[in-house]
Amino acid sequence: MKIVALSCTQKRLPSLTDALLEAAIDGVVREVDDAEIQRIRLIDHRIAMCEGEDTCLDPEVGRCTLDDDFEHVVDLAEGAQAMLLAMPVYAGNVPAVLKIFQERLKSFMNARQRPFGNLLVGTIVHSRTMLTEPALGSLFPWYLRLRNKNVASACFTQNDHQDLTRTAALDLCVAVGRQLGMTLDASRSPANDRDDRAAPPLLQSPANDRTAPPLVQSPASDRTALPLVQSPARPRCGDPAASSPGA
């Protein structure tokens, strides 16, 4: 099963974005036996800004005519069923390299097959001090348009941490990857025996042991559903008991 790992940092390696993305990849490969990971670092490719000529929408031309690596990047995602996307917050929003890429994908708006579309997605957003949640939110109109379904996300700010990869952020990235993997697994076999699943062990690590956060290890067969908490019965809207004064 092909999974695109899209790094949207503008930094050369090593970057924090790539470290967090690797943790999420680690999570997804634990859950998907036949995972084939296609890593894409957008910044490593020449992707020019859309020039707004709408040549791609002209039925006579039907494609973007800018001569760069865009089509190659699109080809890299061919046949993927899922995507892990990791990005830093730049100026309160998505990094320019991702915005440019999103705009270029518009050239496939009328195509039957939308590259980077119809995917299950796990998203990781991080920043130095703030605005991770609004930046995450700004991805959703794009996901919606591509008919992507975000199944798990994690947001972190560095704040006073010298190295976010030595915090529980890494565990959460693994969890995003695992959740994406489990969702892929479930979508592959709808008759899945979900009731047999055991709850994953709660991650416990002493507060002073932050050098190498333990990663959750649990085979899928160990999971059981958590007990459902049921509210007491109450009158339904429109029932006489519900509309009587004081009810």
What residues make contact with ligand FMN under the rule CB under 6 A? 9, 11, 15-17, 88-92, 126-131
User: How far, in Å, CA of 29 to CA of 154, rounded?
Assistant: 18
Please classify residue 198 by burial: count the beta carbons closer than 10 Å to its beta carbon, then call 0-12 exposed, 13-18 middle and 19+ buried: middle
CB of 160 to ligand FMN, least distance (A): 13
Instruction: Name the nearest CA neighbour of 174 among 234, 211, 217.
Output: 217
CB of 170 to ligand FMN, least distance (A): 14
Question: Are residues 174 and 23 in contact, defined by beta-carbon separation less than 8 angstroms?
Answer: yes
Enter the tokens of residue 136. Answer: 């995450």
Separation of CA 197 from chain center: 24
How is residue 162 written in tokens? 């010298």
Q: Of the two residues 81 and 158, which places its CB atom closer to ligand FMN in the complex?
A: 158
CB of 137 to ligand FMN, least distance (A): 14
Q: How far is the CB of 103 from ligand FMN (least distance, A)?
A: 18
Cβ-based nearer residue to ligand FMN, 37 or 96 = 96
Report whether 118 contacts 79 (CB < 8 A). no
Q: Which is nearer to ligand FMN, 21 or 184 (CB)?
A: 21
- The residue among 17 and 102 lying less far from ligand FMN, judged by its C-beta, is 17
Residue nearer to ligand FMN on the CB measure, 11 or 197: 11
Q: Which of 3, 4, 6 is nearest to 44 (CA)?
A: 6
Least distance in Å: CB of 89 to ligand FMN?
5
